[in-house]
Structure 1
Amino acid sequence: MATRFYRRFLCLSFVLLLALGFSTHASAAAETIRVGVLKFGTVNWELDTIKHHKFDEKHGIDVDVRFFASEDATNVAMMAGDVDIIVTDWLWVSRQRQSGEDLTFVPYSSSVGALMVPVDSPIKSLADLKGRKIGVAGGPLDKSWLLMQGYAKHQFSLDLPANSEIIYGTPPLLAEKAQQGELEAVLNFWNFCARLEANGFRRLVSTSDAARALGATGNVSAIGYIFHEKWAHAHPDAIAGFIKASREAKALLGSSNEEWQRLAPVVKAEGRALEILRDRYREGIPARSVEDEEADAIRLYAILAELGGERLVGPGKTLAPGTFWRTD
């Protein structure tokens, strides 16, 4: 009897050890991906969705979010190898590739800024901005501002910087000045535009409108997830899992209003402001092929290189090959 009990005890112990071994192995198999983002950036909405619903675990990875105070800080962290993925634009990726780096780009969002004016403003088109006081976020080499200038020249033969008073500043400061009536129009980042829209402003022209007028065939994903090709080739399952988790989070944010209610404290908005931010975010979810995205980026790069010169794009005259990541 004792012998039979001892045998059962050994079998049970063996099964438990196997189970623990499989559990430990499964846990170890989840590869950590370090993602560097701005602490209060809109990318956090998607990353929060990924973590809350465990989409990363579902696809065999563990997303470790690292917060930074500025875009320059995330760029430095990427180049130093302190993070695996950051979010920035394909223009920066192309410039780095032309310098010998192997960075590459997966489209994240085509949500872009817009020129905003008060809802009762007499300004009806870019032509009406002549002689006006315009706030511009991002500085004189901001891509949206350059495209807006190109559109004004193309459509109305108007040199905006030469014929208007341009005030450069940070997005929150310019949004505040616009609401206080100190600016007659403001070109701001998309999320600040959405908040202005909820507070009595309307879109005059979006950056997407300008891009299409200058040759783009659709909404171009201005920003994307950036990583080193060498890292991606060394961790193919990890990057594939991350892209799948990202797409799953986007699908949920694109279809579930309840998910946005859950995210309200993260977004720091409620009511109409939350609804407009939700809708503008959804408009920016990429839906085009990499080939179409890349073709439009090539067209816009040529325009930006002409308008911004070497200070913006560096010595490269065309978009660097490999800027857009391809899995095949």
Structure 2
Amino acid sequence: MGIEDQQAAIDAEHGDPEGLPVMRARFEHNGSPRYMLYTMKRLGLDHEHGFHLDFELVSDELEGEVETVEAKLQDGEADLIDIDYISTARERAEGAPIVAFYPYGRTVGGLVAHEDSDIDSLADLQGKDVGVVRRLDKNWILVRAATREQYGFDADEAATPIEAGSKVELTRMIREGEVDAVLQFWPIVPEITETGPYEEVLPMAELVQDLSGTDNKLPISTFLTSEEYLDHHRETARAFASAYRATVDRLVEDDEPWEVVGEKLMTHDDPEIVRAVRDGWRDMVVRDWDEETIDGMEELFDSLYAIGGTDALGVDHIPDGMFRLLE
């Protein structure tokens, strides 16, 4: 389903701000947060918790070296986005006044290959062409760290990463046989494997847990805003967090919202795909966080850095003040 059709479904639920403080949310048209944000709007949970969510979809392409949503936030055109916290660290270290104020989830992808491929594990990536959104994508960082630790080679050197620039292009590349495998974002994996002769070789969530050394489910992506917005609109940020928790509860406990999401937002309104995405979302979402969660995220960063270094992560530390608990 195209971005225009999805936006039309969202706009049908927008309504009037009714004098409430407005939070401008800009999210990728094929990213999983759109399921949650659309449900929040449809159920009126933003107004119920005291703010108006202005929700628009944008492309998943890069603008320069950053994702479109990140460019929107840095240019002052958005108050709320989500990206992985390694990218957040990279941009904040370069001077971007952005902060992570609430968790979203373990939003990583999966290694997908043709069913007839000889790729059965990360060890088989040597000599293969692997499609990635970009070399600094979190999924490729995880693969590089894991191949170094588990198999004694760096996938960036032993394989050939081919940057696609977008998730849409990744799907095209694997379907047209231009690469041996792709690291695709998790909600798109079922669309590929359920509609063609492809299989998920390895979910990246397994690498997250292996490399973090903890059984706690760690968020990889977080909700971001600007320092200025958080300084002046902390109560609105708290209201969003409350609405988010309420929306997560509905999506975890009730199947009905997923039926609507499948109809209104998914390219393939196939019950099998909808159920796969629903179950995957429930497994990856993080409802809340605390200091212990953030400590775990920092430990995972340190583990990845120890294995891959600045070359893999693009940054050598998590900048001070990047994580902000809404106390």
Q: TM-score, normalised by structure 1?
A: 0.81
Asked if structure 2 preserves the Cα contact closer than 8 Å seen for 1:117 and 1:204, the reply is yes
Where does residue 115 of structure 1 map in the other structure?
Answer: 111
- Matching residue of 1:325: 324
| Structure possessing the higher radius of gyration over alpha carbons | 1
Give 1:35 deviation, angstroms.
1.2
Q: Which amino acid aligns with 1:285?
A: V
Matching of residue 139 in structure 1 with residue 134 in structure 2: yes
Counterpart Cα distance in 2 of 1:63 and 1:177: 35
CA distance in 1: counterparts of 2:18 and 2:167, whole angstroms: 42
> Residue 139 of structure 1 aligns to a residue in which SS?
coil
Shift of 1:299: 2.3
Unaligned runs of 5+ in 1: 1-25
2-side partners of 1:109 and 1:221: how far apart? 4
* 1:1-328 matches, cutoff 5 A: 27-28=18-19, 30-69=20-59, 70=61, 72-98=67-93, 99=95, 101=97, 103-135=99-131, 137-169=132-164, 170-199=166-195, 200-217=197-214, 218-264=216-262, 265-271=264-270, 272-287=272-287, 289-305=289-305, 307=308, 309=310, 312-314=313-315, 317-328=316-327
Answer yes or no: is the 8 Å Cα contact 2:74–2:96 preserved in 1: no
Secondary structure (helix, strand or coil) at the match of 1:83 reads coil
Alignment check: 8 A CA contact 2:92 2:98 kept = yes
Kindly state the Cα deviation for residue 230 of structure 1 after the two structures are TM-superposed: 4.0
Q: Is the 8 A contact 2:108 2:205 kept in 1?
A: yes
Alpha-carbon spacing, 1:278–1:75, altered in 2? closer, same or farther (3 Å): same
Count of paired positions: 299
- The DSSP-based 3-state class of the residue aligned with 1:214 is helix
- Alignment deviations for residues 34-70 of structure 1 (CA, whole Å, 9 cap, x no partner): 1122344332221111111100110011111134334
Percent pairwise identity: 22
1:12 — aligned with what? Answer: none
Q: Secondary structure at the match of 1:88?
A: strand
Distance (whole Å) between structure 2 residues aligned to residue 67 and residue 286 of structure 1: 22
Kept in 1: contact 2:114–2:198 (CA 8 A): yes
Cα root mean square deviation, aligned? 2.6
Aligned-partner Cα distance in 1 for 2:156–2:90: 26
Q: Which residue pairs with 2:4 in the alignment? A: none
Give TM-score scaled by structure 2 length: 0.81
Shift of 1:209: 1.8
Cα drift, residue 82 of structure 1: 2.7
Moved over 6 A (4+): none
Amino acid at match of 2:47: E
Answer whether contact 1:195 1:276 (CA < 8 A) is retained.
no
Unaligned runs of 5+ in 2: 1-16
**Higher share in helix:** 1
From the superposition, tell whether residues 190 and 308 of structure 1 become closer, same or farther in structure 2 (CA, over 3 Å): farther
How many angstroms does 1:139 deviate by? Answer: 1.5
